[in-house]
Structure 1
Amino acid sequence: MNLVTLRNLSFITICQLIVFYPVKEFKFQMQWDDYWVVINEYTDRGFTLRNFELILSNYYHGQYAPINELYYILIKTFYGYDATYFHIVGVFIHTINAILVYVFILHFCKFILQLGFVRCANIAFFTALVFSIHPLNLEPVAWIAASKILLYSTFYLLALICYIRFLKTKGYIFYFLTLVFFIVSFGAKEQAVTFPACALLIDYMANRNLKTPQIWKEKVPMIILSILFGLVTIQSQGISSGDFDHYSLIERFALSFFTFAEYIAKTIIPIRLSYIYPFPFLPGESIPFWMWLYPFGFIISITLIGKSIIKKKWLLFGLSFFVIHIVLTLNIIGMSRHSIIADRYAYLSIIGIVFIFTYSFYEYVGFKKHLFHSSIAYIYISFLAIYTYNHLAVWENSKNLKTEISDEIKRRLDYDKLIKKYEEK
């Protein structure tokens, strides 16, 4: 590790620890998922062969996340049900993820984009820094029951790094490690099924001919695993307690574009973040006219800038990375949820958008030549850090979170209908 990398990673770690320092005092969210996701029969039984078999073979409340359950058992074995240690370990995992983001972007820029080391290090530094302190990413850090996001991202990023190493060295040990980390990532959260698509994106960025049989031979194990994982996910969801909503296909079509735009908007300007974002209309109601502006705007945008995106590899990569890792949460597929978006689901995907802004800043502005623009960048980063630090208080305990949810719902014009809906559910 050279001095530049050591300096960058040290700064990222220090900033992140300062921002998330209050988390160590937080409690379990006993009125939410912590009481059954974390504190349950599996965690109680600890490390036994029979418990391990049950964790691997059973679905729990419509979920299959054995790696996440083993994570809870490990912490409980050493520290008991002390929320402080669960939170401290969560911050540690988030720190590891920020470091992995740095390494991933560094390798991507050096090997795929063929950029110089200094430029690669700067792009990787600011991408990882924003990732580490971004308000959208505080939810899986502050909420113990959302640790699946942290763990799946750790092994997913390790798989991506190993895959780039495989392309660079042709060493099949890295290909084997890619598959192993991919499997473990799914064991933490089902969103890992997108990995084959991301691997193909890296192939394309590396100018590999996607028509070459060798590429698809490499992808066959990944695709088979992804299909199997998808079937496991469908089966686990099938035995859950029922869908929260029953939106029609056309309603989901409108909701998907709205959801996509919301994730992008909150990645760029993260304000009024909340645990819950109520659906803009209830199932069976008329779709608000303004919602059709989103698909129309998407079509216009693709028509105007589609060719420019394809020509600029860095822009295509960032947007594609974002889409690949957010597509499963766009409400295209019916899922049991109370919120149209969730901050935690953007945890990995925001890397794509942040990478675009960081790369374009260095490409067209730069820090040393334009003091005014660099000042704006530092002010923006400071805003993210301060917002995250202040917004953490919402997750301190169940009372704070309940108050925040209540306030968010009361701000809605259709407050009475929403209250009735949530009471029924």
Structure 2
Amino acid sequence: MKVKDNKKKSKDTVAGKTPVNRPLDDKTEDYRWLNIFDSTDIIIFFIATLSFLVFFQVRHFDFVNFDDSKYLTENTFVQKGLSFAAIKWAFSTSSSDYWQPLTWITHLLDCTIYGMSPGGHHITSLILHVLNTVLVFFVFEKITGMRNKAAIIAALFAVHPAHVESVAWVSERKDVLYAFFWFLSLLSYHYYVTSPSVKRYLIVLFFFSCSLMSKPMAITFPLIVILLDVWPFGRLNKGNVVRLILEKIPLFFFSAASSIYTFYAQKAVGTLAPVDMVSIGARFKNAFISYLSYIYIAFVPINLAAIYPFSFNLSTTKAVLSLALMLIVSAFAVFTLFGYKSFKPKPYVFTGWFWFVITLLPVIGLVQVGPQAMADRYTYIPYIGIFIILVMMWPDNFFENKIKKYAMYSLTMTVILVLSLLSYRQTGYWKNTITLFDHAVLVTKDNFIAHNSLGASLAQAGRFDESLPHLREAIILNPIFFEAYINLGNVLFTLKKTQDAANIYKKAIELNPKSAMAYNGYGVAVLNSDDNDNSFKEALEAFKQALIIDPNFMPARMNLEIAIKEQGPRH
């Protein structure tokens, strides 16, 4: 496959360097409808300030009870801050389903600087997002040579509402961090392409490895640089496909190693859904429908939620239609490489579309991890592919007419303003756990995870009567949702409905016989519901079973010792 290139040889070609093929010459910037700013410095100031203002409210936000406990609020080791022992731990820990040592180090550093004040942790994530926005501008300004189109791509990246989750959720530090090194990898690859050398390639490899050590979603990077070889670099013109693929072997090796480790790590901690739980057919249906949902959200970013639960009742017809549409668009993207008669080649459509498709592959659900069908945070880098198509498709000669020129100028600024306002509003929902899941319940249907999380958060805030309807609704929507039974049992026990709590804990044990927490809860509830000898013996057996399952589960050990010592009810 060859991409036509009618350009004259560049100075790099004369010097024996690999030329960087740009789809448009820098002179095309002479049409001034996009010349919003006078200099690169002003562009950087504008996009950085825009992204900062949209998200600056996070400085007042709390941690949320949604993985933040795993990373910070209940992680006593991380709370101790940065040290040599902590760095060693970050590179060796298996306390997460990812190998993400650099992400752990940023959390350790935040704890050293801010302690457990959540505002500081949020500001670190915001700073990384602002840096990412600037890097997006630099990447596309360098690889396309079109300053103002690069600025608009960066502005869309900065304020798209789907990116709120990556910025406003402290646990998603890994998202903004891996993207930071991803963009540095792309910049380094640009410099390598302009003048290939071992030194420059090693720099690419270094930043790519840092990206992988932040979040393994970076594994698609080798495929993305192959897309960039097609457009805008035009490196396939010489028919050197094999050499360009061989050139990426070290990158593919790093991706393969990261993928294998992540697969076994997630399997070990139980986040990887087995085939007998989520069938191959269900995974493919969810993947095809999710791709279309992501495209919809790209253009209509409203009613976004922290969690979209996986559904086992997806329409086969909808999945088939989604697949058909994906194949049609993919075929058209390939067609744009060559053109036909009056249709000129538009290789940026090929690169943009497959950028979007490929970067979503690790999280599209073919390997199902966790209870979600899709997630806003997964779009942080993939949406750039869509932005490329939208911005680059604007014809250069379309804006020679003064009225059309300023109409498009106004439209561009209006879109950015609307997205900024939507993002500002969406960011506000991440203020705390209650507002987050209250919104999720409001904008989604049959969201048992959101109901359970809202109920648990209300209970944690002491609003027990308000929490009960949500926990019961979670169980109605998903009768085998173990966590909801535990939370409901806890609330019922707190409300002194001990017999009801015992029944709920017993159901939890039936669903998960290996839960020390369920046995401990059942033991405490039974012990407090009746003082007869049978109840006492039943409670002792429950505590003992909890300790057989988890010998280090201290609540069960303490309850067993106290029950034996006092032979009476224990709260």
Normalized against structure 2, the TM-score is what? 0.67
Report the more deviating stretch, 183-192 or 36-45: 36-45
Structure possessing the higher relative contact order (Cα contacts under 8 Å, 6 or more residues apart)? 1
List per-residue Cα deviations over 1:300-349 (Å, max 9, x = no partner): 444566413553111111112112211111111221x2221111110011
Which residue in the other structure is 2:91 paired with? 56
Which residue in the other structure is 2:420 paired with? 385
Report the more deviating stretch, 326-335 or 303-312: 303-312
1:315 aligns with 2:342: no
Specify the SS of the correspondent of 2:372: coil
1:343 aligns with 2:376: yes
Which residue in the other structure is 2:520 paired with? none
Which residue in the other structure is 2:492 paired with? none
Specify the SS of the correspondent of 1:226: helix
Specify the SS of the correspondent of 1:89: helix
Which residue in the other structure is 1:275 paired with? 306
1:68 aligns with 2:103: yes
Which residue in the other structure is 2:293 paired with? 262
1:33 aligns with 2:60: no
Which residue in the other structure is 1:115 paired with? none
1:178 aligns with 2:178: no
Give me the whole-angstrom Cα distance separating, in 2, the residues matched to 1:92 and 1:187.
19
1:71 positional shift? 0.2
Which residue in the other structure is 1:168 paired with? 194
Give me the whole-angstrom Cα distance separating, in 1, the residues matched to 2:331 and 2:79.
56
1:364 positional shift? 6.5
Give the structure with the higher percent helix. Answer: 1
Which residue in the other structure is 1:153 paired with? 179
Pairwise CA RMSD of aligned residues? 2.5
Task: In structure 1, give the amino acid aligned to 2:94.
Answer: Y
1:212 positional shift? 5.4
Specify the SS of the correspondent of 1:340: strand
Which residue in the other structure is 1:208 paired with? 235
Normalized against structure 1, the TM-score is what? 0.89
Specify the SS of the correspondent of 2:182: helix
Give me the whole-angstrom Cα distance separating, in 2, the residues matched to 1:304 and 1:170.
32
Pick aligned residue for 2:137 from 98, 102, 106: 102
Give me the whole-angstrom Cα distance separating, in 1, the residues matched to 2:137 and 2:108.
29
Which residue in the other structure is 2:221 paired with? 195
1:16 aligns with 2:45: no
Pick aligned residue for 2:407 from 362, 372, 381: 372
Which residue in the other structure is 1:251 paired with? 282
- Whether contact under 8 Å (1:251, 1:287) holds in the other structure is no
Distance 1:422-1:383 versus aligned 2 partners, 3 A rule:
farther
1:376 positional shift? 2.5
1:90 positional shift? 1.2
Specify the SS of the correspondent of 1:392: helix
Give me the whole-angstrom Cα distance separating, in 2, the residues matched to 1:415 and 1:72.
32
Specify the SS of the correspondent of 2:336: helix
Mapping of 1:322-341 within 5 angstroms? 322-335=356-369, 337-341=370-374
Task: In structure 2, give the amino acid aligned to 1:222.
Answer: L
1:62 positional shift? 2.0
1:418 aligns with 2:444: no
Pick aligned residue for 1:220 from 237, 249, 263: 249
Aligned residue pair count: 410
Distance 1:272-1:364 versus aligned 2 partners, 3 A rule:
farther
Give me the whole-angstrom Cα distance separating, in 2, the residues matched to 1:354 and 1:96.
18
Give me the whole-angstrom Cα distance separating, in 1, the residues matched to 2:95 and 2:314.
36
- Whether contact under 8 Å (1:140, 1:150) holds in the other structure is yes
Specify the SS of the correspondent of 1:274: coil
Report the more deviating stretch, 185-194 or 206-215: 206-215
Specify the SS of the correspondent of 2:269: coil
- Whether contact under 8 Å (1:254, 1:291) holds in the other structure is yes
Report the more deviating stretch, 413-422 or 305-314: 413-422
1:195 positional shift? 1.3
Task: In structure 2, give the amino acid aligned to 1:405.
Answer: A
Give me the whole-angstrom Cα distance separating, in 1, the residues matched to 2:284 and 2:228.
29
Overall identity of the aligned pairs, in %: 24
Which residue in the other structure is 1:241 paired with? 270
